[in-house]
Amino acid sequence: MKIKVCGMRNAENIAALVTLEPDFIGFIFHEKSPRNVVEKPLVSIPNTIKKVGVFVNKSIAFVLQKVTDFDLDYVQLHGDESPEYCNELQEKCSVIKAFNIKPDFDFDKLQAYQSTCSLFLFDAFGKKAGGNGVVFNWDLLANYNGDTPFLLSGGITPKMAEEVKAFSHKKYIGIDINSGFERAAADKNIIAIQTFIKKIKHEISSK
């Protein structure tokens, strides 16, 4: 079970999170987000933890500049980015494409993204591109039959360890957590994350 913690910004908070050894740490580059990152946090992040930049309908040039400035390993795209756009970025770094899932979501459109993305992220549908803090019906993902592995996102909270462990899909490899583990925007409750990870990891190791 891979763990991605998104919406990080404060160096001290990031340093504390690093001690938990998540698989991914996400930085949001979207001016409308209360977690928008402007300056690079002065904190050491080991190479074992992949740095992810989150973007919404930005130019290729803007994204690649952030990849360089922040030493990003992945870019996560939450807008209307095309397969061609993803393919162009994939030549420089790994790509995660996010999709907001609702009952009438057309999973057939993901076929065009299969060869252009390393991962998909399935999030809840809401007014914002991400961070809506709501959970979608995970049963809808039974309609996903592609080959690209995915992270599950959208409104996951510390109380949902059992639901996360119970969910099953052959391409499900982990979760993305954000606002449900915050004391304030971009300020994560490290103890809550640590407890949550332990619950999930213990269950997996005992199976």
For every residue of 155-191, DSSP letters joined together read S--GGGHHHHHH---TTEEEEEE-GGGEEETTEE-HH
Q: Is the pLDDT of residue 133 over 90?
A: no
Number of compact structural domains in the chain: 1
Read off the pLDDT band of 203 (50, 70, 90): low
Q: pLDDT tier at 205 (50, 70, 90 boundaries)?
A: very low
- Domain extent, residue 77, equals 2-206
Predicted model pTM: 0.93
Give the phi and the psi of residue 54 in degrees, each rounded to 5.
Answer: -105, 125
Euclidean distance between CA atoms 199 and 161, whole angstroms = 7
75 is written with which tokens?
Answer: 């870019």
CATH number (domain holding residue 89): 3.20.20.70
Q: What is the mean pLDDT of residues 108-128?
A: 90
- Residue bearing tokens 């756009």: 85
